[in-house]
Amino acid sequence: MSTSSFAPPTAGLAHVSVDAAGDVSTTPPSAAHAPVHAARDVPIEVLAEKILAGDRSTLARAITLVESKKPEHQAKARALVQALLPATGKAHRVGITGVPGVGKSTTIDQLGANLTAAGHKVAVLAVDPSSTRTGGSILGDKTRMAKLAVDRNAFIRPSPSSGTLGGVAAKTRETMLLCEAAGFDVILVETVGVGQSETTVAGMVDFFLVLMLPGAGDELQGIKKGVLEIADMIAVNKSDGDNANRARQAASEYRAALNIMAAKSSAWTPPVVLVSGLANQGLEAMWEQVETHRTKLEATGEFAERRRTQQVAWMWSMLEERVMQALRHDGRVAGRLHTLEAGVREGTVSASIAVDEIAGLMGI
């Protein structure tokens, strides 16, 4: 397996050997949701040191700190991420999307298992701000990722369960950095193909993979054009058994659809591949494309540039979130916001007049 495309590169990508620390096995992956108090009382330097040594339980607790709504936890989490920043950025970050039931979890489970078998350490994160998926589906994801759930070289962390998309994404981003510092060299971020979450996840990864169902014609009509614009590759999943022909037909339609779109990069044309996550077919060739993309975009400098752009965009989106939060809790405007909003809703106050008054109260 070591010569396969799943194997980690021998040079370049730093691969922190977490196994060597020997403390990884003490915490089963199912302990991912650890109590926040443990991390709250431990000094940042100690947390950082343990995370760098690959201590899973500390990683899980630090993520809980990141996800906490308490301002003092958030401040500590930010300081921790800052302290670990030099150890981040070494992972290959891959986003995976597709409609419910397309096989994201199944494919991630098999792909992840192939990657850990080849020596990688794989973290699986999710961005799903919708309130419909709560504790039940977290359990669901774990059982659907049965291989990775018991894999010492894998770490599954379900989506932070509430908040705005921006808020959820910010937490997933910081979680990604913590996982990188803990030595995970492949980060897979799953998101369900609804709303804006795809664009948000595409904005935090190096490679964005879109899973599609076999089928043609009608189904193609239903594809959001936006998703083709951000895809770095399309994989037609479930290309097994009776589906094989339909999958080939679908693939050629997706190829045609991609052909008429402007290329994001002159160095990369998004390929369309056929896979079966369930039968472990085509996943090696698929991962080879992910690696080739990296090699090609590293050569042109686009790989690093994409990350720089993402970091700056992240700064602005966090700033927006913070400013809006401050505005909503600002004593000067709190009394008027509700009334003005009601006025705008009923058409008695124009939106621009309302904004003028709010800005005036804020002194901006």
Work out whether 133 is an interface residue with Mg ion (CB under 5 A): no
Site pattern 130..149 for ligand GTP (x: CB under 6 A):
--------------x-----
Nearer to ligand GTP, 98 or 183 (CB): 98
**Residue 239: partners with Cβ closer than 8 Å, 6 or more residues away:** 214, 247, 248, 274, 275, 276, 281, 282
Judged by beta carbon, residue 232 or residue 240, the one nearer ligand GTP is: 240
Per DSSP, what are the bridge partners of residue 207? 94
Query: From ligand GTP, Mg ion, none, which one binds at residue 192 (CB under 5 to 8 Å depending on kind)?
Result: ligand GTP
Print the binding letters for residues 143-162 with Mg ion: x by CB under 5 A, - otherwise: --------------------
Residue number with CB closer to ligand GTP (8 or 103)? 103
Q: Which two tokens stand for residue 50?
A: 């343990």
How far apart CA 81 and CA 44 sit, in angstroms, is: 10
Contact flag: residue 64 with ligand GTP (CB under 6 A) = no
Q: What is the spatial distance between Cα 50 and Cα 59, in angstroms, rounded to a whole number?
A: 8
Residue 276 interaction partner, one of ligand GTP, Mg ion, none, beta carbon < 5-8 Å per kind: ligand GTP
Q: How far apart are CA 206 and CA 201, in angstroms?
A: 10
Candidates 50, 120, 121, 238; binder of ligand GTP (CB under 6 A) is 238
Query: Where does residue 10 rank: exposed (0-12), middle (13-18), buried (19+ CB within 10 A)?
Result: exposed
Q: Give the binding-site size for Mg ion (rule: CB under 5 A).
A: 2
Binding to Mg ion by residue 293, rule CB under 5 A?
no
Which stretch, 72-80, 101-109, 261-269, 301-309, contacts Mg ion (CB under 5 A)? 101-109
Q: What amino acid is encoded at 27 in this protein?
A: T
Q: Residue 288 in contact with residue 250, Cβ under 8 Å? A: no
Q: Is 105 in the site for Mg ion (CB under 5 A)?
A: yes
How many Å from the N-terminal Cα to the C-terminal Cα in the chain? 61
Query: Which residue sits closest to Mg ion, CB atoms considered?
Result: 105
